[in-house]
């Protein structure tokens, strides 16, 4: 298979405010991968390799690859990079670009759905509220759903709701 190269990918990332410019400091030493818990336990999520793919321009291949969602966001890589590359924050931006290729894990879509409906990600529920009262706490506060829903619509987050399954 011939790999598609985008000569613009690198610049596209570099233009991302504050974070992007640090891409060019990377000399591929692999300290990021050495300290990465996800790399240690998946053996396939390799932050150095992801940065290399950006530098070499393997845009579509990378942005369609579900492996990019295996980052724990623990920021070990960012703290330990000898060059000051904001690795975990670059990875975050790469995942945001991947949404344009419909490369989004189901559980994050489900998270958006709960957020739209309740204004929370782990919403208030009657069983825990009873437990709260038995502990002498007040019932859990509810979130202002309408305000939050409006912002989710305005900012476009609403586009990431779970895809409707075709009914057979």
Partner 1 sequence: MEFALFLGCNIPNRLPHIELAVRKVLPEFGVELKDLDGFGCCPDPIGIQALSHEAWATLAARNITVAEQAGLDILTLCMGCFETLKTINYEIKHDPELKEKINSHLSKIGREIKGTIKVVGILELLYRDIGIEQIKSKVIRPLNGLKVAAHYGCHALKPHYIIQFDDPSMPKSLDELIDATGAKSMPYLNKHLCCGTGISGINEKAQLSMIRAKFSEIVRTNLDCIVTLCPLCYIQLEMGQMLVNREFGDNFKIPVFHYAELLALAMGIDEKELGFKLHRVKVQPALEIISKKE
Site map 55..74 versus partner 1, x via CB under 8 A: --------------xxxxxx
Buried b (16+ CB within 10 A) or exposed e, 92-124: ebbbebbeeeebbeeeeeeebeebbebbeeeee
**C-alpha–C-alpha distance, residues 84 and 81, integer Å:** 5
Binding mask 8-37 for partner 1 (x = CB under 8 A): ---------xx------------------x
State which of residues 155, 164, 167, 168 lies at the interface with partner 1 (CB under 8 A): 155
Residue-level length of the chain: 168
Residues 6+ apart with CB under 8 A from 79: none
Residues 6 or more apart from 17 whose CB is under 8 A from it?
A: none
Binding window for partner 1 (CB under 8 A); candidates: 3-11, 26-34, 53-61, 138-146: 138-146
* Nearest distance from C-beta of residue 57 to partner 1, angstroms: 22
The only residue of 5, 11, 25, 121 in contact with partner 1, by rule CB under 8 A? 121
State in angstroms the smallest separation of the CB of 73 from partner 1.
Answer: 5
């Amino acid at each position: 298979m011939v790999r598609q190269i985008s000569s613009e990918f690198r610049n596209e990332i570099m233009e991302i405010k504050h974070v992007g410019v640090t891409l060019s400091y990377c000399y591929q030493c692999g300290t990021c991968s050495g300290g990465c818990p996800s790399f240690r336990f998946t053996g396939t999520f390799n932050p150095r390799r992801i940065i290399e793919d950006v530098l070499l321009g393997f845009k579509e291949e990378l942005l369609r690859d579900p492996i990019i969602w295996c980052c724990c966001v623990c920021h070990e890589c960012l703290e330990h990079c000898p060059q000051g590359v904001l690795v975990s924050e670059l990875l975050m931006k790469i995942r945001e670009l991947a949404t344009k290729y419909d490369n989004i894990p189901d559980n994050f879509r489900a998270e958006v759905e709960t957020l739209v409906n309740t204004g929370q990600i782990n919403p208030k529920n009657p069983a825990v509220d009873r437990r709260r009262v038995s502990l002498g706490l007040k019932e859990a506060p509810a979130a202002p759903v309408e305000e939050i829903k409006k912002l989710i619509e305005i900012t476009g987050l609403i586009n990431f709701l779970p895809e409707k399954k075709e009914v057979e």
